[in-house]
Amino acid sequence: MNIRFNTPRLKYLISAISLGCFITVLVLGCTPKKEIEQKKEITASVNPEDWPTIKPLPLDPKIEAKIDELLPKLTLAQKVGQVIQADNASITPEEVKKYRLGSVLSGGNSAPGSLAYADTKAWLALADEFYNASIDTEGVEVAIPYIWGIDAVHGHANLSGAIVFPHNIGLGAMNNPDLIEKIAAVTAHELTVSGHDWTFAPTLAVPKDLRWGRSYEGFSENPEIVKSYGGRIVTGLQGRIGEEGFMGAGRVISSAKHFLADGATEKGVDQGNALISEEELREIHAAGYYSAIPAGVQTVMASFSSWQGRKLHGDKELLTDVLKGKLGFNGFVVGDWNGHGQVPGCSNTDCAPSLNAGLDMYMAPDSWKGLYESTLKHVKDGTIPMTRLDDAVRRILRVKIASGIFTKGAPSTRENAGNEKLLGLPENRAIARQAVRESMVLLKNNNKTLPLDASKTILVIGDGAESISKASGGWTLSWQGKGHTNKEFPNGTSILDGIKEAVVKAGGKLIYGKEVTTNVKADVVIAIYGEDPYAEFQGDVQNLDFVPNGFDVKKLATFKSKGIPVVSVFLSGRPLWTNTEINNSDAFVAAWLPGSEGAGISDMLFQTDPSFEFTGRLSFSWPAKALVSKNKETLFELGYGLGYTSPEKVDRLPEISGLENSTVASTGIFFNKGAAVAPWGLWLNSDNLTKQVASFPTSVGGLIISKTDHKAQEDALRIQWTKPDYDQMRISTSLPSNMSKEANDGKQLTFFAKSFKDKNTVIKISMCTEDSSCDKTIEVNITSNDWKEYSISLSRFAKLGIDMTQVKSVLMITAAEGVDIGISTIRLTSATDD
């Protein structure tokens, strides 16, 4: 039967009314959530007077006096430099000095060296180079130190040896503000080992549609949980404002993000549009800021997304009138990755409206130079008033001075810097392991299957057992977190290692192997499986159906039919429709993305300490259907979760996903959002060498393929031919695809491309069958330094003699030595499409 479970622990249940009562203390009026949802007319106006009034934190007279001393000494060019942040992969220390940039960031794949992450020594060496360049006074009266930011969203996960904590969705389920502050403090501590000054955290989104690929970055759909965490994380990262240790040793600048309603976009589309009322914007999605700002958060990051069609990077009423006005925020507002370029009338290299709206620092990773030049021009011609520029620089200097950056010295000389022994300290790993235990939610425990007896014969299956990478998810060692081995986690423990430790200690027997069959005899089966890693943009999905990958979930039913108890440990960045898997499990645990302390999982499976209990409760409701509809159907309610001795039994669930009658036709999309769309994959060919692309950058022969930006971060491929061999990049599938109808119907192969060279470039394109060598090609002239859309009629490939009923490579690209192009959004379109 289809049942809804409610927990007696009512404090976990969402209560927008309660949050509204908090706001009532600050402003008159309180709108219950139900009333908000029933509003039919939603206007796009902002009424700052309806927002809470937060008294600004008192400004430090000494800091303000220092700013008054510095500002007149800065040239106009220096001031413009201060409001721009570049990515370390796109700027040199010499350029930081020349342009006097205020900040450098490291994107998810922008570590020094050839990898997306680095060790302490490499990070510190680059940190010193940028720092020393920024304080060089050659040609200026006074030099302003730069600050270095990075996304340490669940630990300092781009630093080799750092602790990887559970992602926020799990931390929301643990609902423990005291522990969240400790986690933030450990993260800050490890950031200072590598010389970083600033983390882009906490994420204070309140995700409302789990199809959003960043849902796991949110703590809860319950704004009260988000609010209870916001200020505590800020305190953990920065120290307690007003006390001596604030921004002292072992602390870093924090950034509350993404302002505002990034978790409310239609259909969960990343960087999309939140079509919600101002009441919901204020009472639900701003909740975390009501605790983060009084706690002294130093920076706030603007959201990529829009509210009612208004891009947040250009919304003066929200950034200035509300955030800096009513909410009393006196730090600075930083943009997101070229987010200013999405403001109407702007581009990545030219956007006065964002600064005028209240953005104080552009995040311009690769567009910084053009943006610097246009911003300087706009200030000179009055498009950007000098008062606005001075206010932005004042806010930036206020944060920098408060952080101690003027007196700390070079990164390598600071306390903790370079001491790798401070990474993964036992007491800090214990904090992470506790967080894993408290984040796990027991959804089903029929017949009191858990806790298990570790002295028995335990069979472990599933691709999540041995992989720390899969258990950690995106934003781990690299942006998307894919393809990393356990050797890359020197201070990590896999879930399998934790189970092994418990079983050996109890004298039991552990069976594990990737080739283990269902004929193995065991007392219990532990299956560890779930989603593969993903991050923003690429993580968006159309429905909430769990699509098995890397593990055959049919084995669950086979073992269960033999009377062997089955325990599923489900790894995911969001609740998913898993009715079939739940039915085929005697116990089912939502383990989320627990990170590098996998032994925390075994602690709970075997209850290795009598004091351990399942205290995790759902911070997001669990779907009853895979198909997302306006009438949200819930299987397990927000706040649900069982303990070892809970009497609830989960009866057999209906295995109707809601997708059965949906008519979702093939969209003909082959490469989108930086990834090939299944069943298509990326392949490289050079002579007799063939290689499937699993991670970036990679190469074969003289062909190098990496990621680049088109309309969003790393949504495009960069392909470079370095040898005169005409090597090929293909988008292929294992089974042939019949495209004859599409060819007859006038469909076109369409893509965006540009040449990275200063002159136009010729590439050769074809489609291939299993028997063809792809030698029949069509030449396309790609223009230089500008993305343009190109289309080739499928009928042209048919006229070349290609069998359109047997297409295995929908796109083959080859070119001469020296060609360097970008390509994105490869799909079929109609000749009549715009």
Q: Is the peptide bond before 61 cis (omega within 30 degrees of 0)?
A: no
Q: Inform me whether the pLDDT recorded for 60 exceeds 70.
A: yes
Token pair belonging to 49? 């007077």
> Which region among 78-92, 312-326, 375-389, 529-543 has the lowest average model confidence (pLDDT)?
529-543
Provide the pLDDT confidence category of residue 667 given band limits of 50, 70 and 90: low
Average pLDDT over residues 572-587: 98
Kindly report the backbone phi and psi dihedral angles of residue 191, in degrees, each rounded to the nearest multiple of 5, phi listed first.
-65, -35
Supply the pLDDT for residue 662. Answer: 53
3-class secondary structure per residue, 107-159: CCCCCCCCCCCECHHHHHHHHHHHHHHHCCCCCCCCCCCCEEEECCECECCCE
Kindly report the backbone phi and psi dihedral angles of residue 69, in degrees, each rounded to the nearest multiple of 5, phi listed first.
-75, -40
Is 257 strand, coil or helix? strand
Q: Inform me whether the pLDDT recorded for 424 exceeds 90.
A: yes
Provide the pLDDT confidence category of residue 485 given band limits of 50, 70 and 90: very high
Count Cβ atoms within 10 A of the Cβ of residue 598 and give its class: 0-12 exposed, 13-18 middle, 19 or more buried.
Answer: buried
Supply the pLDDT for residue 660. Answer: 67
Supply the pLDDT for residue 164. Answer: 98
* CA pair distance 127, 265, nearest whole angstrom: 37
Provide the pLDDT confidence category of residue 773 given band limits of 50, 70 and 90: low
- Cα 641 versus chain centre, distance: 26
Could you give the percent of the chain with pLDDT greater than 90?
80
Supply the pLDDT for residue 693. Answer: 87
Nearest to residue 185, comparing CAs of 233, 229, 151, 231? Answer: 233
Which amino acid appears at position 397 of this protein?
L
Number of alpha helices (DSSP H) and beta strands (DSSP E) in the chain = 23, 33
**Whether residue 64 lies in the annotated active site:** no
Supply the pLDDT for residue 35. Answer: 33
Helical residues (DSSP H) of 298-365, grouped into ranges: 316, 352-357
Q: Inform me whether the pLDDT recorded for 207 exceeds 90.
A: yes
Average pLDDT over residues 23-35: 35
Are 230 and 288 a contacting pair, CB within 8 Å?
Answer: yes
How many other CB atoms are there within 10 angstroms of residue 178's CB atom?
7
- Greatest Cα pair distance, the chain, in angstroms, is 80
Q: What DSSP element (H or E) covers 499?
A: helix 495-506
| Options 190, 224, 501, 536, the catalytic residue | 536
C-alpha distance across the termini of the chain, in Å: 48
* CA pair distance 778, 791, nearest whole angstrom: 11
Supply the pLDDT for residue 762. Answer: 95
* CA pair distance 359, 83, nearest whole angstrom: 9
| Options 217, 336, 531, 709, the catalytic residue | 336
* CA pair distance 103, 724, nearest whole angstrom: 41
Average pLDDT over residues 42-48: 79
Token pair belonging to 422? 């401070």
Nearest to residue 228, comparing CAs of 12, 39, 392? Answer: 12
Supply the pLDDT for residue 11. Answer: 35
* CA pair distance 523, 539, nearest whole angstrom: 37
Are 300 and 329 a contacting pair, CB within 8 Å?
Answer: yes
Q: Inform me whether the pLDDT recorded for 36 exceeds 70.
A: no
Calculated CA dihedral for residues 460, 463, 464, 465, nearest 10 degrees: 30
Supply the pLDDT for residue 712. Answer: 86
Q: Inform me whether the pLDDT recorded for 496 exceeds 70.
A: yes
Nearest to residue 524, comparing CAs of 566, 496, 495? Answer: 566
Average pLDDT over residues 814-829: 94
Supply the pLDDT for residue 772. Answer: 59
Q: Enter the DSSP assignment of 468.
A: H
Provide the pLDDT confidence category of residue 692 given band limits of 50, 70 and 90: confident
* CA pair distance 704, 499, nearest whole angstrom: 41
Q: Inform me whether the pLDDT recorded for 759 exceeds 50.
A: yes
Q: Which one is predicted more confidently, 1 or 392?
A: 392
The β-bridge relationship of strands 761-769 and 778-782 is antiparallel
How many other CB atoms are there within 10 angstroms of residue 720's CB atom?
18
Reported pTM: 0.84
Supply the pLDDT for residue 325. Answer: 98
Average pLDDT over residues 411-432: 97
Strand order in the sheet with 299-302: 255-259, 299-302, 332-334
Collect all residues with Cβ–Cβ distance below 8 Å to 10 and sequence separation of at least 6. Answer: 639
Nearest to residue 720, comparing CAs of 710, 711, 729, 712? Answer: 729
Is 215 strand, coil or helix? helix
How many other CB atoms are there within 10 angstroms of residue 151's CB atom?
22
225-261 pLDDT per residue, tens: 999 999 999 999 999 999 999 999 999 999 999 999 9
* CA pair distance 15, 209, nearest whole angstrom: 18
Q: What DSSP element (H or E) covers 22?
A: helix 16-24
Q: Which one is predicted more confidently, 218 or 662?
A: 218
* CA pair distance 226, 243, nearest whole angstrom: 25
**Whether residue 532 lies in the annotated active site:** no
* CA pair distance 71, 78, nearest whole angstrom: 10
Helical residues (DSSP H) of 49-92, grouped into ranges: 61-70, 76-82
pLDDT, the chain, mean = 91
Calculated CA dihedral for residues 674, 480, 193, 291, nearest 10 degrees: 100
215-225 pLDDT per residue, tens: 999 999 999 99
* CA pair distance 327, 716, nearest whole angstrom: 38
Buried residues in 608-639 as b, exposed as e (16+ CB within 10 A): beeebbbbbbbbbbbbbbbbbeeeeebbbbbb
Q: Inform me whether the pLDDT recorded for 31 exceeds 60.
A: no
Token pair belonging to 696? 């970036």
3-class secondary structure per residue, 559-585: HHHCCCCEEEEEECCCCCECHHHHHCC
The β-bridge relationship of strands 198-199 and 147-150 is parallel
514-538 pLDDT per residue, tens: 778 889 999 999 999 999 999 988 8
How many other CB atoms are there within 10 angstroms of residue 406's CB atom?
15
Calculated CA dihedral for residues 169, 172, 173, 178, nearest 10 degrees: 140
* CA pair distance 45, 50, nearest whole angstrom: 12
Q: What DSSP element (H or E) covers 371?
A: helix 368-380
Are 83 and 393 a contacting pair, CB within 8 Å?
Answer: yes
Are 753 and 799 a contacting pair, CB within 8 Å?
Answer: no
Nearest to residue 748, comparing CAs of 833, 824, 816? Answer: 833
Supply the pLDDT for residue 794. Answer: 93
Supply the pLDDT for residue 655. Answer: 93
Token pair belonging to 603? 């602690």
- Cα 167 versus chain centre, distance: 10
Average pLDDT over residues 48-52: 97
* CA pair distance 562, 555, nearest whole angstrom: 11
Give just the sign of the alpha carbon dihedral 629, 630, 635, 640.
Answer: positive
Provide the pLDDT confidence category of residue 13 given band limits of 50, 70 and 90: very low
